[in-house]
Amino acid sequence: MPLRPFITACVLAGVALASYTFHLTSTPLSASEAVFTQQAQHAFPPHSLMFHVADDRWLQPVAVYAASVVRAAGGGDYSGRIASAIAGALDVALLFGAIQLVASYRVAVAGALVLLATPAHFWFARLGTDAIFPVPFVLGWLIAALRFVHFDSRKALVVGGLVLGAGVYTHPTSPLVMGWLLAALVLAAMVGRRSIASTTVFAVGAFVLMLAPLAAWFWLHPANYADTFGRWAVFAAHARFPLDGLRAQVNWNTLSNRTSIFWGLLDPSFLLFPASAASIAPFLLVSAIAVPLGIGRALSAPLAAERVVVIAAAIVPPLIACTFGQPQDLGLVVAMSAAAAVLTGYGLSSLPQRRRWWTWLAGAAALASLYQLAPL
């Protein structure tokens, strides 16, 4: 990476980390944060791949181990929040790198700042749970996928597969999210007339390699599958009888419920307007202008494979969240904030080709977003 973008990414990450850790200990830990703190006390050195909390509730390892490392470095009871803040700062730097592959330096900086200030991302970067942890892996995949699309890099395929495989261990939604993003990478190779065999060997092979510890853990502890991946990804009964699983997925009631949840997550009244006078909307108002423009620019990208990658990054997280049956729960889809920032970058980069009033409208929305951020 050239020196200037690298320095910029580091500065953006530093600003984000300072913002996310400001007064981080001013409020007591919530019940969910306390669970991660308790598990982190016993996770280092590693003694388990996943962590049993109570009954059928388990935690994926990445967030717990991250909090454990921070605790070992002196983070204390707020180690979970500090680990989340570090992950959030990394998101900002990675988003800058992703947008730089498709837009100008200034647009990449603007997109990174939008993610830094997006309330949904801000909240979860200051929360000591696992909600923020899938996002760096999704953005890492996005960078690798765009490099593959634009430069036909086999190294990017390997990195993309490794990143997705590691991302499987971050959150209950991650096994399906990372699996579908891997499928999107293969589809992008097909659309871009790349070698399917090469894509499978490098990307899918790297992904499977990262799952080896998981396979070994389930081989040693088969009874734990039902309460972990048996709830998060593939039911044990459906693993034995795949056709039954397929019938369950295409059931009319299932499709109806999931469609309702999906559109609820994309509802502008949910994303752009606060639920009450005392709350803040999850997304910035500038997204109302920039994201639709970004969608238009992404759909008209000259490379069809790029269109596949960007669309997948935008729709896979909310699509998978529908399978968990919790309407309008941003904790399941924090990656949506990163997707919105990517599309914002696309939208801002399209402004020079549009009529001047679009620029003025985007500027007015950006100013309104600054007012929106005041309570933060």
Parts of the chain with a pLDDT under 50: none
Find out whether 169 and 60 touch, Cβ atoms under 8 Å.
yes
pLDDT at 325: 79
Nearest of 309, 339, 313, 343 to residue 192 by alpha carbon: 309
3-state secondary structure 25-56: CCCCCCHHHHHHHHHHCCCCCCCCCCEEEECC
Residues 233-270 have pLDDT tens digits of: 887 776 676 776 677 677 778 888 889 999 999 899 89
Give me the DSSP letters along 225-294: TTTTHHHHT--HHHHH-HHHHHHHHT-HHHHHHHHHHHHHHT-HHHHSS-SSTTS--SS-TTHHHHHHHH
Residues 151-196 have pLDDT tens digits of: 888 899 999 999 999 999 999 999 999 999 999 999 998 898 777 8
Q: How many Å separate Cα 271 from the centre of its chain? A: 16
Identity of residue 67? A
Q: What is the value of pTM for the model shown?
A: 0.94
Determine the Cα–Cα distance for residues 297 and 130; give it in Å rounded to an integer.
32
